[in-house]
Amino acid sequence: MRTRVKICGFTSVEEAVYAAHLGVDAIGLVFYAPSSRNVEIEQAIKIVAALPAFTSVV
């Protein structure tokens, strides 16, 4: 069985794409406004669009 890796709290396209290319299976986005890792919907759309097809978003 293979261990899957998910990292949460990405706020930039560059960070998320870099993590995907390093082998992360999934990335998480935070939509809780008080969080320092909060991302607006417009930015989330950009992040998701830039990811390779094999990377899940949760």
**Domain ranges for the chain:** 6-57
Q: What is the pLDDT of residue 11?
A: 98
CB 22 within 8 A of CB 53: no
Q: What is the pLDDT of residue 14?
A: 98
| Whole-number Å distance between alpha carbons of 30 and 39 | 6
Phi, psi of 18 (to 5 degrees): -60, -45
Q: Which of 16, 15, 13, 11 is nearest to 56 (CA)?
A: 16
**Per-10-residue mean pLDDT for the chain, 58 residues long?**
96 98 98 98 98 95
H or E stretch including 28?
strand 26-28
Q: What is the pLDDT of residue 53?
A: 94
Q: What is the pLDDT of residue 21?
A: 97
